[in-house]
């Protein structure tokens, strides 16, 4: 009951969803859309678990006065503020122009944009560390990355040659690499799904 | 630790500092780095240069504000080049969210050169079903656009007198950020044998090079780089040149650090 | 009905040929004369659909691409009776000879297309100033299908692959052993856990930014289970920050199962598998902090990753952690390859759980993957030959028609 | 643009937080921790409110209450079952919800992966090979590249002999792809930084103008 029934549910719903894909009739189209809503709705309810987990971890840091517990207070204040602002006026709470959205635009957005911008620095340091001609493989990685980056550097007449080489790399070996990886992913992902559906892989369900 | 070993294990904060300098300084103090002009950009430039005053070029502005950063500089440079040579322009905007943006651009640039709507240029604006619009314009501009963007019948615009379709323009330059570009190639060039050149975003560039090789288009401006080359050719550097200069320096910094790391690697290996 | 249609179009063609054609040559550039109409108009249910669409086909007007070449577009008109009022349903550019008249399936929708109802169609060829209409085609009825013929290659492929997987698994069940070659990223896992144990520092496991419905995340669960078992054996702490509550719930069950497998259920601590936030860069900011403050000895990044891949990998390398990564997100593999110690590329991510657990059944599934790969490669070679020698039919076998 | 006191304050907050994050490049520090902890709480709260109004209401409340689609109570009930996880004793009941979730997700994925990742890539690689121009030869190279790279992904055969050679060519080809991917991305990442610097560049003069 605790384990066998869920495994059976996975099997039945999985097989049904596979078959559904080949039936264009609208009754099955309806079932597909309904099933996708199941996933969304279950996910929405689970959000409460997430909020509880975040709160519990933060509160316990504060309670035990763990190092940096003061910062956890900020997390809790941020969370409580946004939850209150996001709920107290009904669905108007999240409209543009509310304090809720002001906080989003002026606290969340600059932080996420700056985190994203850190990549400009990290891509440089990663290139410095990784692109050493140690082995054949790392040399190939290094040389192709250089050729592609050199597109933007004026090299006089060499630029023309580099341009041709760069667009050849992008359209021939790069294309081949992508296709092969995609095919591999397709087979691997399908096999993983089948292992779940047929109950061969069931660790995610927990034991006991 | 020898000097070369130290080159291999630089504190990454030096790299961060170099990138910061490479980006911040040029933003505050604009400058320009030399640019290599690729032949596919030069051929577009030469095409406009060799057009005689009074002749017409068709400019298709087929992108929306999302692609402005890369494509606006191209449209600006081409319009400026044409107006300064007294070349007339027919302009369309077939991307759904683009016409307003295109209108702003046209009124801005035409003011700079004191050009008059209906006399020196015609702005057709937007109509849905871009495939049909492009095909129909091959018959007559008046099929999809009985009036221009401002509601004036094309027949009452002096510039459109005797101008019927693609046969009456020197060529088409399509600046596009999406799949409309394909229709210009397949319909305007494929069916009506019009000369077509493209301006496309950086990510689209590699996909459209085959059309250059097959001769279906006579030139391509690809992304910010193509735009900056064009600005350089028209001797009026703007946003593309600025952005591209920063990019060039930043790329040089990355490449320099890769080289430093490898020099350190090879030299310290040699010593052992 | 069809016969009558044909006859009327024949009459029309005759008429056109002997009357309009000479006339039109006299008035060569005059667009006010209607072009020859489209002929052989046929309307019928659109195959392989949900039953709210009818497909119309026709033969191009004589002035489309030939003759005066002045046809610009075709308009498709529909009526509920052959003599009733025809309304325009859509338009296609010249050169096209099919149109799918489709509508919504919801009755309350304005554009509702009723199935099982007779409809009549006409096609109109348009020039600048004039048009001409075809005869009436129909009645045509839209109805839904119970099997999508165009998806047959997918069906066959899915079925064949499923059989292969099940067959190899049952072989494994019967005791057949399968060889698998060593994989660098996998061999590193044991060392990495050992290292964390020696240093007395925790292990960080990131499941990526995907939801529990992403297959890469699901594959990552299966790996997490094996790694959790090993960490339980080594009595090493494992931290799993999540960005989706369902992922967190499943990860908790997975780790708990791993601890049970290792016989150490007492050591399992639920608070180490926790939720942070679902927003990409806020999550990454927090994970960065965890790496530096918990001084994690080993970081695993396995699952679906986007731009944050490099932020995580670089921060981890600042912290001096051993890093093992794997994703099926193509754009991010280069950054993992460059910035982490070991990377499971694409399919290797999906194979990893079989490698780690060494369970015979899962190794059987791997064997099935290899067999499928061999079939794919053979088909590719044959397909390339077929394409080179213009054997179109072979390529059609693999083409999915939506 | 700073035009009034409210935007002046908000913009200053935004600029402060921008510097907090950038400071992480030097090292972990209290300013980064402030930004990090605030953004975790704020974004989790933001996301939850969004899920409530843009998720729960249109996906569950409206179908059941406004459209009378009572059958939407079933997934609603399964959602509620997730909450058994709050109790240690009954948490196993949430497995039923997870089972539906995983079953649907994997079932939907199977044909899509076969179609989009395997068949579609396969058919677009079935290219004509000829020696009349470069395209025909390049097609051959693409096909060989795909074949060798697939051999690299073989798990049940040792990479030895001819197979080993092909696998090595395959991994080289993959590396070319990765190098290209890396090189192509630099430009986009630098653009992100330029945008951030321009944001700061606009802030200071407009703040000074406002104060004056």
Q: Characterize the bridge pairing of strands C273-275 and C298-304.
A: unpaired
Q: How far is CA C48 from the centre of its chain?
A: 18
- Distance between start and end Cα atoms, chain A: 11
Average pLDDT of chain C is 88
Query: Bridge-partner residues for C40, per DSSP?
Result: none
Distance from CA of A26 to the nearest CA of D (A): 17
Question: C21, exposed or middle or buried, with CB in 10 Å at 0-12, 13-18, 19+?
Answer: middle
Contact C145, A25 (CB under 8 A): yes
Q: Which of B105, C211, C84, C5 has its CA nearest to residue A46?
A: C211
Contact C136, C5 (CB under 8 A): yes
Domain B39-238 grouped into CATH 3.40.50: yes
Task: Tell which A residues from 164 to 193 touch B, by Cβ distance under 8 Å.
Answer: 167, 170-171
CB contact under 8 A, A152 and B251: yes
> Using a CB-CB distance cutoff of 8 angstroms, which residues of chain B are in contact with residue C127?
139
Q: How far apart are CA D148 and CA D142, in angstroms?
A: 10
* Region at C34 (left for phi over 0; alpha for psi -120 to 50; beta for the rest): beta
* Region at C190 (left for phi over 0; alpha for psi -120 to 50; beta for the rest): alpha
Q: What is the pLDDT of residues C294-337, one digit of tens each?
A: 999 999 999 999 999 999 999 999 999 999 999 999 999 999 99
Q: How far apart are CA C384 and CA D138, in angstroms?
A: 13
* Total tally of structural domains belonging to chain D: 1
Rounded CA Rg of chain A: 26
- Distance between start and end Cα atoms, chain C: 31
Q: From the CB of residue B84, how many other CB atoms can be counted at a distance below 10 Å?
A: 12
3-state helix, strand, coil in chain D (%, to 5): 85, 0, 15
Q: Residue C34 has what DSSP assignment?
A: P
Q: How far apart are CA C328 and CA C344, in angstroms?
A: 9
D9 Cβ under 8 Å from any chain B Cβ: no
* Region at C95 (left for phi over 0; alpha for psi -120 to 50; beta for the rest): left
Name all chains with 3 or more CB-CB pairs below 8 Å to chain C: A, B, D
What is the mean pLDDT of the segment spanning D59-82?
Answer: 94
Contact C105, C93 (CB under 8 A): no
C128 Cβ under 8 Å from any chain B Cβ: yes
Q: pLDDT band at C346, cuts 50/70/90?
A: very high
Q: Provide, rounded to the nearest whole percent, the portion of chain D with pLDDT above 70.
A: 99
Q: From the CB of residue C184, how many other CB atoms can be counted at a distance below 10 Å?
A: 12
Domain C177-358 grouped into CATH 3.40.50.1220: yes
Contact C53, A26 (CB under 8 A): no
Q: pLDDT band at C31, cuts 50/70/90?
A: low
CB-nearest partner of A111 from D21, D145, D178: D21
Distance from CA of D211 to the nearest CA of C (A): 32
CB contact under 8 A, D125 and C383: yes
Of 3.30.70.1890, 2.60.34.30, 2.60.40.10, 1.10.8.60, which CATH number belongs to C2-140?
2.60.40.10
Torsion angle in degrees (nearest 10) through CA of A120, A125, A129, A131: 30
ipTM (interface predicted TM): 0.90
Q: Which of B90, A178, D111 has its CA nearest to residue C160?
A: D111
Chain B residue at shortest CA distance from A120: B19
Query: Bridge-partner residues for C112, per DSSP?
Result: C104
Q: Residue B66 has what DSSP assignment?
A: G
Q: Residue B73 has what DSSP assignment?
A: H
Q: Residue B11 has what DSSP assignment?
A: -
Q: Characterize the bridge pairing of strands C98-102 and C53-59.
A: antiparallel
Q: What is the pLDDT of residues A98-138, one digit of tens each?
A: 999 999 999 999 999 999 999 999 999 999 999 999 999 99
CB-nearest partner of C276 from A48, A54, A183: A54
CB-nearest partner of D103 from A34, A197, A208: A197
Q: How far apart are CA D40 and CA C375, in angstroms?
A: 48
User: Which stretch of A58-72, A76-90, C90-104, D96-110 has the lowest confidence by average pLDDT?
Assistant: C90-104
Q: Element (H or E) spanning C199, and its range?
A: helix C184-199
Distance from CA of B243 to the nearest CA of C (A): 22
Task: Tell which C residues from 303 to 362 touch D, by Cβ distance under 8 Å.
Answer: 330-331, 333-335, 337-338, 345-348, 351
Query: Residue A84: helix, strand or coil by DSSP?
Result: helix
Average pLDDT of chain A is 92
CB contact under 8 A, D119 and C333: no
Task: Tell which D residues from 37 to 96 touch A, by Cβ distance under 8 Å.
Answer: 37-57, 59-60, 71-72, 74-76, 78-80, 82-83, 85-86, 92, 95-96
Distance from CA of B146 to the nearest CA of D (A): 42
Q: Residue C274 has what DSSP assignment?
A: E
Supply the pLDDT for residue C64.
Answer: 82
Q: How far apart are CA C217 and CA C226, in angstroms?
A: 15
D112 Cβ under 8 Å from any chain A Cβ: yes
Q: What is the pLDDT of residues D185-196, one digit of tens each?
A: 999 899 899 989
Any idea where the domains of chain C sit in the sequence?
2-140, 177-358
Q: From the CB of residue D31, how many other CB atoms can be counted at a distance below 10 Å?
A: 16
Contact C168, C354 (CB under 8 A): no
CB contact under 8 A, C293 and A57: no
CB-nearest partner of D198 from B13, B27, B251: B27
Q: Characterize the bridge pairing of strands C298-304 and C39-45.
A: unpaired
Letter string b/e over residues C309-341, b meaning 16 or more CB atoms within 10 A of that residue's CB: bbbbbbbbbbbebbbbbbbbbbebbbbbbbbbb
Contact A118, B15 (CB under 8 A): no
Supply the pLDDT for residue B77.
Answer: 95
- DSSP letters, B128-158, are S-HHHHHHHHHH-TTTT-SB-TTS-BGGG-G
Cα Dmax for chain C: 98
Q: Which of B210, B186, A157, C389 has its CA nearest to residue D134?
A: B210
Q: Residue D121 has what DSSP assignment?
A: H
| D48 assigned to some structural domain | no
Q: What is the pLDDT of residues A141-183, one digit of tens each?
A: 999 999 999 988 888 778 888 888 998 998 899 999 999 999 9
Contact C208, C304 (CB under 8 A): yes
3-state SS string for D149-212: HHHHCCCCCCCCHHHHHHHHHHHHHHHHHHHHHHHHHHHHHHHHHHHHHHHHHHHHHHHHHHHC
Q: What is the pLDDT of residues C348-400, one digit of tens each?
A: 999 998 998 888 889 999 999 999 999 999 999 999 999 999 988 888 889 88
Supply the pLDDT for residue C10.
Answer: 46
Chain C residue at shortest CA distance from B140: C128
Distance from CA of D207 to the nearest CA of B (A): 17
Chain C residue at shortest CA distance from D160: C181
Is the confidence at residue B15, as pLDDT, over 70? Answer: yes
Q: How far apart are CA D139 and CA D134, in angstroms?
A: 8
Chain D residue at shortest CA distance from C251: D98
Q: Which residue has the higher pLDDT, C178 or D83?
A: D83
Contact B133, B96 (CB under 8 A): no
Torsion angle in degrees (nearest 10) through CA of A161, A163, A166, A170: -130
| D209 assigned to some structural domain | yes
| D9 assigned to some structural domain | no
Supply the pLDDT for residue C96.
Answer: 86
Q: Characterize the bridge pairing of strands B172-176 and B121-125.
A: unpaired
Note the pTM of the prediction, 2 decimals.
Answer: 0.89
3-state SS string for B34-103: CCCCCHHHHHHHHHHHCCCCCCEEEEEEECCHHHHHHHHHHHHHHHHHHHHCCCEEEEECCCCCCHHHHH
Q: Provide, rounded to the nearest whole percent, the portion of chain A with pLDDT above 70.
A: 99
Q: What is the pLDDT of residues B211-266, one digit of tens each?
A: 887 889 999 998 898 999 999 999 888 888 888 889 999 999 999 999 999 999 99
Chain A residue at shortest CA distance from C147: A23
Q: How far apart are CA C182 and CA C198, in angstroms?
A: 25
Distance from CA of A67 to the nearest CA of C (A): 10
CB contact under 8 A, C365 and A123: no
Any idea where the domains of chain B sit in the sequence?
39-238
Task: Tell which C residues from 215 to 254 touch A, by Cβ distance under 8 Å.
Answer: 215-216, 218-219, 221-222, 225, 242, 244-246, 248-250, 252-254
* Region at D163 (left for phi over 0; alpha for psi -120 to 50; beta for the rest): alpha
Q: Characterize the bridge pairing of strands C203-208 and C119-126.
A: unpaired
Supply the pLDDT for residue C256.
Answer: 94
> Interface of chain B against chain C, CB under 8 Å?
12, 129, 131-132, 135-136, 139-140, 142-143, 187, 191
CB-nearest partner of A116 from C211, C256, C307: C307
Structural domain including D191 reads 127-212
Q: Residue D65 has what DSSP assignment?
A: I
User: Which stretch of B21-30, B245-254, C46-55 has the lowest confidence by average pLDDT?
Assistant: B21-30
> Using a CB-CB distance cutoff of 8 angstroms, which residues of chain D are in contact with residue C395?
123, 126
| D199 assigned to some structural domain | yes
Looking from the CA of A91 toward its CB, the CA atoms found within 13 Å total 10
Cα Dmax for chain B: 84
C277 Cβ under 8 Å from any chain D Cβ: yes
């Amino acid at each position: 009951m605790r384990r066998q029934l869920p495994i059976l549910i996975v099997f039945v719903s999985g097989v049904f969803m596979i078959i559904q894909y080949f039936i264009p009739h609208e009754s099955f189209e309806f079932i597909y859309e309904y099933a996708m809503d199941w996933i969304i709705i279950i996910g929405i309810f689970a959000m409460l678990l997430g909020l509880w987990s975040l709160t519990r971890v933060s509160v316990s840091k504060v309670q035990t006065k763990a190092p940096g517990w003061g910062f956890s207070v900020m997390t809790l204040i941020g969370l409580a503020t946004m939850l209150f602002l996001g709920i107290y006026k009904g669905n108007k709470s999240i409209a543009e122009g509310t304090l809720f959205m002001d906080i989003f635009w002026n606290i969340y957005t600059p932080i996420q944009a700056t985190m994203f911008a850190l990549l400009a620095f990290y891509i440089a340091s990663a290139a410095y560390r990784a692109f050493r001609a140690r082995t054949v493989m790392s040399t190939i990685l290094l040389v192709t990355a250089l050729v592609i980056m050199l597109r933007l550097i004026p090299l006089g007449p060499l630029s023309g040659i580099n341009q041709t080489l760069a667009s050849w790399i992008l359209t021939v070996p790069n294309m081949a690499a992508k296709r092969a990886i995609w095919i591999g992913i397709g087979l691997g992902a399908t096999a993983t799904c089948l292992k779940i559906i047929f109950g061969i892989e069931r660790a995610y369900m927990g034991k006991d | 630790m020898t000097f070369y070993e130290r080159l291999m294990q630089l504190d990454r904060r030096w790299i961060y500092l170099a990138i910061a300098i490479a980006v911040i300084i040029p933003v505050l103090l604009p400058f320009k780095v030399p640019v290599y002009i690729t032949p596919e950009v030069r051929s577009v430039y030469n095409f406009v240069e060799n057009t005689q005053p009074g002749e017409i070029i068709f400019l298709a502005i087929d992108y929306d504000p999302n692609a402005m950063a890369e494509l606006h500089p191209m449209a600006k440079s081409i319009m400026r080049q044409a107006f300064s040579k007294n070349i007339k322009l027919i302009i369309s905007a077939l991307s759904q969210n683009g016409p307003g943006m295109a209108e702003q651009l046209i009124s801005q640039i035409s003011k700079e050169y004191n050009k008059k709507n209906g006399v020196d240029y015609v702005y057709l604006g937007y109509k849905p079903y871009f495939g049909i619009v492009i095909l129909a314009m091959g018959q007559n501009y008046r099929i999809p656009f009985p009036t221009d963007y401002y509601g004036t019948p094309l027949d009452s615009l002096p510039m459109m007198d005797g101008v019927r379709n693609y046969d009456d323009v020197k060529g088409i330059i399509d600046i596009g950020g999406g799949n409309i570009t394909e229709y210009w190639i397949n319909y305007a060039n494929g069916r009506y044998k019009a000369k077509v050149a493209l301006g496309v975003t950086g990510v689209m560039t590699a996909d459209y090079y085959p059309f250059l090789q097959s001769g279906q288009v006579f030139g391509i401006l690809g992304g910010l780089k193509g735009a900056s080359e064009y600005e350089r050719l028209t001797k009026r550097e703007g946003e593309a040149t600025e952005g591209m200069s920063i990019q060039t320096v930043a790329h040089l910094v990355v490449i320099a650090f890769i080289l430093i790391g490898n020099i350190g690697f090879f030299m310290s290996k040699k010593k052992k | 009905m069809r016969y009558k249609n044909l006859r009327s179009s024949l009459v029309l063609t005759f008429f056109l040929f002997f009357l309009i054609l000479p006339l039109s040559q006299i008035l060569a550039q005059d667009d006010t004369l209607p072009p020859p109409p489209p002929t052989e108009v046929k309307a019928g249910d659109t195959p392989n659909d949900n039953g709210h669409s009818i497909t119309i086909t026709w033969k191009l007007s004589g002035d489309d691409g030939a003759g005066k070449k002045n046809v610009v577009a075709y308009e498709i008109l529909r009526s509920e009776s052959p003599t009733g009022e025809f309304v325009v349903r859509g338009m296609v550019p010249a050169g096209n000879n099919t149109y799918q008249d489709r509508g919504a399936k919801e009755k309350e929708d304005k554009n509702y297309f009723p199935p099982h109802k007779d409809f009549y169609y006409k096609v109109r060829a348009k020039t600048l100033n004039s048009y001409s209409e075809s005869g009436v085609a129909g009645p045509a009825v839209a109805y839904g299908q119970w099997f999508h013929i165009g998806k047959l290659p997918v069906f066959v492929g899915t079925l064949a692959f499923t059989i292969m997987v099940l067959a190899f698994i049952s072989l494994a069940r019967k005791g057949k052993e399968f060889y698998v070659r060593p994989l660098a990223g996998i061999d590193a896992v044991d060392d990495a856990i050992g290292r964390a144990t020696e240093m007395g520092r925790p292990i960080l496991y990131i499941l990526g930014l995907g939801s529990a419905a992403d297959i890469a995340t699901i594959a990552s669960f299966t790996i997490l289970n094996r790694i959790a078992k090993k960490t339980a054996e080594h009595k090493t702490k494992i931290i799993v920050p999540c960005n989706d509550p369902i992922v967190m719930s499943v990860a908790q069950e997975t780790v708990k199962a791993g601890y049970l497998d290792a016989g150490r259920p007492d050591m399992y601590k639920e608070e180490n598998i926790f939720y942070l936030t679902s927003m990409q860069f806020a999550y990454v900011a927090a994970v960065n902090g965890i790496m530096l403050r918990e001084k994690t000895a080993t970081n695993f990044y396995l699952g679906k990753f986007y731009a944050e891949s490099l932020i995580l990998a670089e921060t981890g390398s600042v912290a001096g952690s051993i890093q093992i990564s794997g994703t099926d997100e193509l754009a991010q593999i280069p950054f993992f390859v460059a910035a982490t110690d070991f990377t499971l590329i694409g399919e290797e991510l999906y194979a990893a759980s079989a490698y780690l657990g060494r369970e015979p059944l899962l190794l059987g599934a791997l064997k099935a993957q290899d067999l499928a790969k061999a079939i794919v490669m053979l088909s590719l070679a044959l397909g390339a030959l077929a394409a080179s020698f213009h054997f179109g039919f072979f390529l059609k076998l693999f083409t999915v028609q939506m | 643009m700073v035009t009034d006191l409210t935007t002046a304050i908000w913009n200053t907050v935004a600029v402060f937080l921008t510097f907090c994050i950038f400071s992480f490049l030097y090292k972990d520090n209290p300013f980064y921790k402030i930004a990090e902890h605030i953004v975790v709480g704020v974004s989790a709260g933001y996301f939850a409110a969004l899920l409530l109004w843009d998720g729960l209401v249109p996906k569950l409340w409206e179908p059941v209450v406004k459209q009378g689609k009572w059958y939407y109570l079933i997934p609603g009930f399964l959602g509620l079952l997730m909450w058994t996880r709050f109790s240690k004793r009954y948490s196993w009941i949430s497995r039923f919800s997870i089972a539906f979730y995983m079953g649907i997700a994997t079932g939907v994925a199977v044909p899509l992966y076969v179609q989009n990742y395997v068949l579609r890539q396969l058919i677009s690689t079935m290219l004509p090979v000829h020696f009349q121009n470069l395209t025909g030869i390049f097609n051959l190279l693409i096909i060989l590249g795909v074949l060798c790279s697939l051999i690299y992904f073989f798990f049940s055969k040792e990479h030895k002999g001819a197979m080993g050679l092909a696998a090595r060519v395959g991994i080289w080809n993959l590396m070319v792809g990765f190098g290209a991917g890396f090189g192509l991305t630099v430009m986009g990442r630098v653009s992100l930084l330029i945008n951030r610097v321009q944001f700061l560049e606009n802030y200071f003069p407009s703040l000074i103008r406002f104060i004056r």
